[in-house]
Structures are given as structure tokens and as C-alpha cells.
Amino acid sequence: MIRDVDPALMQKIRRYGKGGRLQVESCFQCGNCTAVCPLAQDSAGFPRRVIRMAQVGMERELLASEDLWRCYACGECTATCPRAADPAEFMAAARSYAISRYDFTGLASLASRSVLGNLLVFAGLSLFFALLLLSRATPSSAHLPFFDFVPGEWVHAIGVALFVVVGLSMVAGLASMILRFLSERRREGVPLRAGALPAAMASAILEALSHQRFRQCNAEEPAPAAQPWYLRPWVVHLSVMGGFLAMLLATTLDYLLKPIGSPVPPWYPMRVLGAAGGLICLYGLAIMLFRAEPEDEAHWRKRTFAEWFFPVLLAVTVLTGLSAEILVYLPMTPAGHAVFIVHVVLAMDLVAMLPLTRFAHVLYRPLALALFAWRHAPERQAAAAEA
């Protein structure tokens, strides 16, 4: 069988990890990473099969692989790699590369390849949203409520336009992933039955919400007794994800059910839901950002800029949002207006950058889980029938 290969693939992926210093070429396929990775049990050769694809330039296969997205970035594989190939960071870099290939605007590539590119995209978007909002502001009225200072209808019009543009970009990215998956499975002759799809989707949603597989990461070390449950990586990840979803739901319901800017008491359900989601999210982010790594693990758990950027952006957005929730009940001041504008701009940045950065895994991972379950449905059914 003739395969298209891209000899420069590894070099291209390397640009997306560790500022270009990723040394995954040194991998000699020993299999240590597969032995320790908790996800390898239902997919033999995970994660080194993906590394092999990059080493031999199989771009089409790599971009059609669900394995990229199933990795939880726990770092267990990196800790045991005898060649310092850093497979966990390779998987993250390969995901960033895939995001930039699924994206048609070219912005994902700019935002993911370097710190400067990331900051440029962030600064450009911030400036754009700030100018857009302030173009309708009433600067002379320091004591106006938020949605009179900048008309609520204007804020929501920008928000809706943003969601439409980002939504279309997400759909295009997801469609690109699905088409690559289908084309590659067809080429491999893997049977995909439409009837098995609903169950595959249900199992992916269940996994995304319960973090069942994630719980197996770092399950052995440190000893469970030494690490309380509320500090375990899957709990922290679930806090950030659940808190974020709660805030998104509160904002959406608020927009749909309440006239823009109308006053409500602090116990208004959407306000309580948003504040609770914000606090839960902040808890997870604080652990994520400030947790001290054990000394013997600090060298391989060292975070890259890409890993810092989104949690910090999300944390500042949540903090300014919670501050605005309090300020709305106090006499209005220019400082209050500034907090409000910063919050709205950062929230818009978050949405706009979602499909462009590593945070895009919130889109691609659930889809990849569903595609993986769909592909392996016949084996799972056979195993269930035998049991």
C-alpha cells in the first residue's frame, strides 16, 4: 500500500511544544510509556503509536487519530521515559498541531507556535473588543449602571456575533476531524455501523462528565492516602470544567430569561449559579496553578507558557466577573466601570481563543472519545457477549 509521508512532520510538530525544544526523535519505541499509561489498556500501543506516526511522517493518519485527544496529560509516561523524549509534551504539541491544521483561519497556528504569537493574538483581540465596546460608552457618566454605561443591547449584539463566528469555526474544525477520521477508517477497512453511534456518543458524554478514565491517571502515586481526594488531578480538572459550564449556563439563561440589565437580588438563581460556578472554577484553577510539585517530579512536570496561559486568563476573567457581581450592588464608580469592561473583554477573548489554543481540547476530546468508542464498538460488544 502506498502511503503519503511528510518527512518534515516531526519538525513541524516540534514547533508547537516546549518552544521548539521537544526531543521526541530520541524515542526508540521501548514501550515504557505504554506500560505505565492507564489509557493503553483499551488501545495497545498508546501513546507510542502516535509518536511513531510523527517519526515516519504519517500526517494523514496522525490527524485522523482519536488517540491524540484521549490523553489526559498526566505526565506518567514522561516520568518513565528512559530517553527524555517527553511523550506527554509530545502529545500536547501534536494536539496543538492538529488544532492548527483543523483551523482554516491560520490564527490557531499563530497562537500556538510561540509565546509571542499567542500574546499577539490575545492583544489584538483584546484591543478589538475594547474599542468595539467603548465606541458606544458614555464616559461622562461615572455613576451609570454597567449596562447604561455601555448599552446592554450593544454588549449582547457583540456577544451573539462572536458566538456565531466562533461556533462556525468550531463546526468547521470538528467537521475536519470527522472527515479525516471517516476517510482513514474507510481506507483501513474498519467497519463503522451507524447503529452503534448513539451508544458511542452516550459513552463519550458519560466519560467527559464523570472523568472515569482520568481517575486512573496518577492513581498509584503519590499513595492515595498521601493525597486527599480534593487535590487529585481529575477532581481539579472536573472543578474547572464544571465551574466553567455552570458560568456559561448562568450567562446563557440570564440572557434568555431576563431583560438586559434589569436589577435582581443577590439570591436570583442565575446569579447564585454563576457565582457558585465561578468559585468552584477558581478553586480548581488555584490548585492547578499553585500546586507545588514533589521535588523528584518537578523537572518533568515543568509547565510551558501554553499551559499557563489559559488557566491564568480564565482565573482573571472569573475574578473580574465575581468582582462585577459585587460591584453591581454598590454605588457605581469609574473603577467599577473599568472592572466591568476588563471582564467583558476577557470573557470575549476566552470565547474567541477557545478554538485556537490548547483549550480547544474541550471540543475535540469528547468527539474523539465518541469516535474511539464507535470504532471499537464491535470488539466491545464481542467482549460483553463472551463475559
Residues lying near ligand SF4 in the complex (CB under 6 A): 27-33, 36-37, 39, 47-48, 51, 71-77, 81, 83, 85, 87-88, 91, 217
User: Rounded distance, CA 63 to CA 181, Å?
Assistant: 8
CB of 350 closer than 8 Å to CB of 312: no
CB 216 → ligand SF4: shortest distance, Å?
Answer: 9
Non-local (6+) Cβ contacts of 202 within 8 A are none
Judged by beta carbon, residue 153 or residue 221, the one nearer ligand SF4 is 221
Give the shortest CB-303-to-ligand SF4 separation in angstroms. Answer: 14
Using the minimum distance from each CB to ligand SF4, give the nearer residue, 47 or 57.
Answer: 47
Question: Of 237 and 343, which CB lies nearer to ligand SF4 in the complex structure?
Answer: 237
72 vs 122 by CB, closer to ligand SF4: 72
Task: Give the residue with the Cβ less far from ligand SF4, 75 or 321.
Answer: 75
User: Integer distance in angstroms from the first to the last C-alpha of the chain?
Assistant: 37
CB of 83 to ligand SF4, least distance (A): 4
87: Cα separation from own chain's centroid: 19
Provide, rounded to whole angstroms, the least separation between the CB of residue 266 and ligand SF4.
Answer: 42
Distance, CA of 103 to CA of 173 (rounded, Å): 6
Task: Characterise 141 by phi-psi region: left (phi > 0), alpha (psi -120 to 50), beta (else).
Answer: beta
Minimum CB distance to ligand SF4, residue 299 (Å)? 15
AA letter at 290: F
> Which residues have CB under 8 Å from 133's CB, separation 6+?
150, 154, 155, 158, 341, 344, 345
Interatomic CA distance for residues 260 and 257, integer angstroms? 9
Q: How far is the CB of 215 from ligand SF4 (least distance, A)?
A: 12
Nearer residue to ligand SF4 within complex by CB, 86 or 349: 86
- Which residues, 6+ apart, have CB-to-CB distance to 123 below 8 Å? none
